[in-house]
Structure 1
């Protein structure tokens, strides 16, 4: 497994973990796939809330402390659900990397040119 790309390894590990709980995108009908996409989207929202709870976001509350260790764990939990979502959408590690790269270039262009208006077509190629 050492010679594999790290993103390939993450996708493989997540596939195995999901199979352990009975989530197999290759055997899902559309209704089940949509339900799992909703499950993962809700889980991502919850993990984001847990990440926020690790950061002293109440500027008026002096008792809060930054929990770096837990914040890192929450980022990994987010990655679990994001990879699972990508897999449900039929994306491979290569697909994810390519889409990330294309979207990154859109974001760079927006920053360089000033993001003055929403262009509905600037992400159609991704």
Structure 2
């Protein structure tokens, strides 16, 4: 996955969306909306997988539908990162640091 490429693509899409609906407004003004959107998309992903519906016997939705929701989550995740001013290198470094910490936690019975 080329995170830098995806961040650039999302930045362009966000600019088109904001300009179309709001005109020339700073992207940072949309942090709350994007965070809420991310929460909603994660919830839609959970609905598609049915992972929390312990009371239901229905199967998850199709893999295609679940991937579509997953892609929506990625769009909003990238958008939030852009809004906060993160670049690909910073995100990758933070991920690797947290990944290492999570392994350490597992080893220590976290």
1:54 matches 2:65: no
1:113 matches 2:99: no
Partner of residue 39 from structure 2, selected from 45, 50, 59: 45
Distance 1:106 1:84 in 2: 25
Distance 1:40 1:113 in 2: 35
Describe the superposition over 1:25-82 as per-residue Cα deviations: whole angstroms up to 9, x where unpaired.
xx73xxx72x4111111111111111111123433323x2211211111111111111
Structure label with greater radius of gyration: 1
Distance 1:58 1:102 in 2: 33
Distance 1:15 1:55 in 2: 29
Structure 1: unaligned runs, 5 residues or longer: 116-126
Distance 1:105 1:46 in 2: 29
CA RMSD between the two structures = 1.9
Structure 2: unaligned runs, 5 residues or longer: 20-24
1:13 matches 2:9: yes
1:86-125, aligned counterparts within 5 Å?
86-115=81-110
Relative to its length, the structure with more helix (as a share) is 2
Describe the superposition over 1:89-111 as per-residue Cα deviations: whole angstroms up to 9, x where unpaired.
11111111011111111111111
Query: Which protein, 1 or 2, shows the higher relative CO under an 8 Å CA cutoff with sep ≥ 6?
Result: 2
